[in-house]
Structures are given as structure tokens and as C-alpha cells.
Structure 1
Amino acid sequence: MSRWSGPFVIKEVFPHGAVELLKLGGGDQTFKVNGQRLKVYKGGELIRHNAAFLLQDPP
């Protein structure tokens, strides 16, 4: 079975462009991919989450 059989949720985005994906309904199954390989999902209803991040310079 292909790792690309989705759906997936983005778990983490790394500064160098990699993205960690979490497979929905697959327990805690994750894998990292190049973020440029991802495509926007354009079917069905999307559940959106808002997040706020406080960015600070390192001490």
C-alpha cells in the first residue's frame, strides 16, 4: 500500500521546507515529505483551525 493513500493532516512544518504528515484513521502513523510535493485538497468540507504564535528573538 502506498504511503500516499490519504487523507492526511499536517502535523508539523519544518524551517527547511519539509512537512510531517499524520494519516487520519491510521493511529499515530506519520512521515515527512518535501512540502513542494503537497497539493491543496479541493473536495468536501474542510475543518479549519486557528492558531496564534508568539515569535521572539532568541536571548
Structure 2
Amino acid sequence: MSRWSGPFVIKEVFPHGAVEFLKPGGGDQSFKVNGQRLKIYKGGELVRHNEAFLLTDPP
């Protein structure tokens, strides 16, 4: 089985161009790839996740 059988979650993007992926439901198994080898996804519907953080002054 190929480790490229996705979908994946991006865990971290490193300054030197590497990208670390997690497989959802795969525990904490991750792997890193050279970000220059990644291709733009151009098929199907994308699910976008938005997060909001409320910033408050400490008490």
C-alpha cells in the first residue's frame, strides 16, 4: 500500500521547504516530504477549515 493513499492533514510546514503530513485516523503516524515535489490539487470539492481565536488581556 502506498503512503500516498490520502486524504492527509498538513501537520507542519518547515522553513526549508519540507512538509509533514498526518493521515486522519492513523494515530500519530506522520511522514515528511520535499514540498517542491507537491502538486496543486485541481479536482473535486475542497473542504476549507476556518478557526477563530479570541484574544483577551490577561487578568
TM-score, with structure 2 as normaliser: 0.66
Q: Which runs of 5+ in 2 are unaligned?
A: 52-59
**Mapped partners of 1:24, 1:42: distance in 2:** 21
SS in 2 for 1:42: coil
- Are 1:12 and 2:6 an aligned pair? no
Give the gaps of 5 or more residues in structure 1. Answer: 52-59
Aligned to 1:31, the other structure's residue is in SS state strand
Distance 1:24 1:49 in 2: 15
Could you tell me the TM-score, scaled by structure 1's length?
A: 0.66
Q: Secondary structure of the equivalent of 2:45?
A: coil
Kindly name which structure, 1 or 2, has the bigger radius of gyration based on alpha carbons.
2
Is the partner of 2:6 in helix, strand or coil? coil
Instruction: Give the aligned residue type for 1:2.
Output: S
Query: Over aligned residues, Cα RMSD in angstroms?
Result: 2.0
Aligned length: 52
